[in-house]
Structure 1
Amino acid sequence: MRLIVTGGAGFIGSAVVRQAVMAGHEVLNLDALTYAACLDNVASVADRANYTFLEADIRDRAAMDQAFTDHQPDAIMHLAAESHVDRSIDGPGTFIETNINGTYTLLEAARAYWVGQGKPDSFRFHHISTDEVYGSLGDTGQFTEDTAYDPRSPYSASKAASDHLVRAWAETYGLPVVLTNCSNNYGPYHFPEKLIPVVILNALAGKPLPIYGDGSNVRDWLYVEDHADALLTVLQRGQVGRSYNIGGENERSNLELVQTICAILDRLKPGPKPYADLITFVTDRPGHDARYAIDPTRIREELGWRPSVTVEEGLEKTVRWYLDNEAWWRALQDRHGVGERLGVKA
Structure 2
Amino acid sequence: MKHAWIDVRGIPAAQTEAVVDAAIHAKAQAIVSDDAELLAKLPPTILGVASGEGASQMRVTTVGDEQQLAELVRTSDDRAGWVRVVDDRTLKLACAAAVQLPHTIVEFADPTKIPLEIVLAAADKAPGQLITVCHDIEEASIVVDVLERGSEGVLLTPRSADDVFALTRLLSGSTPHLDLTTLTVDRIEHHGLGDRVCVDTCTHFREDEGILVGSYSTGFILCCSETHPLPYMPTRPFRVNAGALHSYVVGPDNRTNYLSELGSGSAVLAVDSDGRTRRVVVGRAKLESRPLLTITAHSADGTVVSLTVQDDWHVRVLGPGAKVRNVTELQNGDELLGYLATDQRHVGFPIGEFCRES
* TM-score between both structures, scaled by the size of structure 2: 0.26
Q: Which has the larger radius of gyration?
A: 2
Of structures 1 and 2, the one with the larger relative CO (CA 8 A, separation 6+) is 1
More helix by share: 1
* TM-score between both structures, scaled by the size of structure 1: 0.26
More strand by share: 2
